[in-house]
Amino acid sequence: MTATVFHRLSRTTGLGIAALVVLAACGGNDGPAAPVAAPEPGQYMPPEPPTGYTPKTIAYAGKDMVAAANPLAVKAGVDILAKGGSAVDAAIALQMVLNLVEPQSSGIGGGAFMLYFDKGADKLLAYDGRETAPRNATPDLFIGADGKPLGFLAAVDGGLSVGTPGVLRMLEAAHRAHGKLPWKDLFDPAIALSENGFAISQRMSASIAGVAARIEAQGEPGASYFLNADGTAKAAGTMLRNPELAATLRAIATDGANAFYRGEIARDIVAKVSGHPTNPGRLALDDLAGYTHKLREPVCAVYRVQYRVCGMPPPSSGGIAVLQTLGILQSFDLASLQPNTLDAVHLVSEAYRLAYADRALYVADPDFVRVPQAGLIDADYLKKRAKLISMQKTIGTPEAGTPPGVYHTMGRDNSPALPSTTHMSIIDRAGNAVSMTTTIENGFGSLQMVRGFLLNNQLTDFSFSATDAAGDPIANSVQAGKRPRSSMAPTIIFNAATGEFEGAIGSPGGSAIIQYTAKSILGMTDWGLNVQQAINLPNFGAQTNATTSIEKGSLIDTAAIRDGLKARGHTVVQTDSFTSGLHGVVFNGLRADGKAGLLARNPGAGTYAGGADPRREGTAQGND
């Protein structure tokens, strides 16, 4: 790393040279990451294992921009845009390549949420491609013979945790409405890479190593695909080919999503799930054939007068929780505190606590539960919640509020919040934008591999029990056909006065997605950082207890900040597993009236700017 890069990051993000050295060292770039322990139901699970900290520089481009989790996938998206493809076209090509090069995080065996801004129609759409519980699922799905909730790994490894995949149906619907290039052409990059091979990245190899024993225990075909003969992870740089995936993608490219949801592929998926020798699931052919995506209304609110911030509505909790965090912070002069200070970490963590308390009680699939969505982001309600915050003492374990629209008592959720997710942000040359977060849930999903791709374990996003200790019903309990609550928070920001696009951002990271996304928005708005600087900011956060987690080795991981938080009642935990994967694009040019975009920090360098998280292997790139 050059001194110039160190100086730039030190000056703009507050990460000093020593802190960056520690971050790079603790990330473990030279070897596999240690496995992350599985949680019991209700516990927070940190994101995918850390694999290093590689500083990224902001990218500029004149016509379009892609920011996503792997360079090969980004190239596929950029090439599609160069051929005249739309943002949705690029997203499809990206997802197919990510299925191959980042299989631990997302793929056609999982689901996704996508915000799409149609510039020509001046309309924002929310596409819900979330998995659903099988029609034979019951509230006791994850209750063992002893009457107690199963341990996490007992639930996830095998067929029991597999929900009906949704991403392909959702992408097909979005393409029909907004695509420009032929559907079949969008699969070419992933098919070519599957047949010709690609070099396993350091991150993919480390991720395999973290779960190698579990992969081996599940047997073929995953064991021989990911592991060497001795059971160790295939090393970074190993050429990997996946002709089975190529055949699967070719069938979908030719016959559409029906090739996946009906016929031989569907039969193989169901056979894998229902025929698992020790942990069979309930997915059936009717579940696949009957899956439909949902087109929902985005959830939006104005922040600091200038910005209209929009996110994904339920069944994701991400959009509401991000907007609640911002709405609570409206009552404070956050800009005056500066980032990476004790007061800023304390204040933002307290806002998170209040948002997560409401999330745990109220948010679930709105087709099954009446979610008080408008009340949760009501400005007056959030002002009342903000009054609970003291700058001298933490709230500790927060209580949920009573927003307008609540009509009965709900129980506290106890679902584990597991990641394995990825995010992409895209804007095309027509000004249409995509912010899409896509997932198979835990790392490598359920570990069940079919026809070259992995199946999700999304059902473990439900509460493992249907009622809490007081006997109150839990909103996010298992029900047939229901979509499990998510924390995914794809976000698009607009100029509140004019409605013009300003930026798109989002992240993987389990329940911490909310914190990562909010942090970056605060960086770009209150603290005036560019998109890359905002992504670089140290991660920290809190949820539904007195624990405040801070990114180990970062600027905020100092004795002064740790002791200052403890003096205010926080229980402080240092973690090297705050592995966000933020990817963002912003309008960086000048409008027709000669004014710069609200998030433009270097107007003239390019029409668009893009940033990628230094904690993962993604990049940002566009066409000039």
Active site residue ranges: 421
DSSP 370-434: ---HHHHT-HHHHHHHHTT--SSS---S------TT--S--BPP---B---EEEEEEE-TTS-EE
557 appears as a binding residue in the annotation: no
Backbone angles phi, psi at 156, to 5 degrees: -85, -40
Cα 501 to Cα 272, 520, 605, distances in angstroms: 44, 17, 18
510 appears as a binding residue in the annotation: yes
461 appears as a binding residue in the annotation: yes
The dihedral sign for the CA sequence 482, 485, 490, 496: positive
130 appears as a binding residue in the annotation: yes
| Cα first-last separation, the chain | 27
622 appears as a binding residue in the annotation: no
**Please, which contacts does 385-392 make with residues 24 or more away whose CB atoms are closer than 8 Å?**
385/324, 385/328, 385/354, 386/328, 386/329, 386/330, 386/331, 386/332, 386/351, 387/331, 388/354, 389/328, 389/332, 389/347, 389/350, 389/351, 389/354, 391/343, 391/346, 391/347, 392/568
Residue 489 structure tokens: 């928070």
HSE-CB for 504 with a 13 A CA cutoff: 31
Pick the closest to residue 323 from 262, 365, 265, 376 (CA basis).
376
Torsion angle of the four alpha carbons 566, 568, 573, 575, in this order, in degrees rounded to the nearest 10: -120
Backbone angles phi, psi at 237, to 5 degrees: 95, -15
Give the C-alpha separation, 450 to 264, whole Å. 11
Cβ 458 vs Cβ 470: under 8 Å: no
Give the annotated binding-site residues for L-glutamate: 130, 461, 486-487, 510
Give the annotated binding-site residues: 130, 461, 486-487, 510
